[in-house]
Amino acid sequence: MMTDAFIGLGSNLKEPAAQLARAVAELASLPDCTLVAQSPFYASRPVGPQDQPDFVNGAVWLSTGLSPHQLLDQLQAIERAHGRERLRHWGPRTLDLDILLFGNQVLNDERLTVPHRELANRDFALQPLLDLKPDLHLPDGKTIAELRRHCPDNRLRKLPPADYP
């Protein structure tokens, strides 16, 4: 059985747009996964510590036969391959991959929370989701469009396609 999974991507180190572009290609080649669509990339100021570069963010829509935890393991392996280090909460990173939504599942364990716990506060995650699927909603029925209307402003700026490979 295949499930629609929506993955948020972010980077603010070592050519962030290129990091995301490579990650999209790697996500498309994951076992038992098909890339349905990729959002445009956006620049935004960092959440948390402001003594770091702006982020580049986007999202992908995967159709996957993996379980949420199997997918998480694959995402973390891609992050490690990109040199991801977890040195500071909300600190700079070469690549951050988050499961934002996984079908209509609700999960909350020591490794994974789905829907992503900060989704409603992240315009840089909500807008790419709207680009991918304008009628997308949370398992509780709230629409991504409604969350986006009430989301704090993070100075989101859509990047022209020429700015990323």
Cβ–Cβ < 8 Å for 97, 112: no
Angle (CA) 104 109 110, round 5°: 145
* Residue 89, pLDDT score: 58
Give the separation between CA 12 and CA 154, rounded to whole angstroms.
Answer: 15
**Phi, psi (degrees; rounded to nearest 5) at 84:** -65, 130
pLDDT at residue 155, as a whole number: 86
Rounded to an integer, what distance in angstroms lies between the CA atom of residue 121 and that of residue 25? 27
Residue 117, C-beta contacts closer than 8 angstroms, at least 6 positions apart:
none
| pLDDT of res. 163 | 59
**C-alpha span between 131 and 21 (Å, rounded):** 17
Q: Provide the pLDDT for residue 35.
A: 98
- Residues β-bridged to residue 44: 55
pLDDT of residue 47: 81
CB 7 within 8 A of CB 27: yes
pTM, full prediction: 0.93
Catalytic residues: 84, 93, 96, 98
Could you tell me which residues are beta bridge partners of residue 51? none
Residues of the chain with pLDDT under 70: 49-50, 84-91, 162-165
pLDDT for residue 33: 98
Predicted local distance difference test score (pLDDT) of residue 141: 96
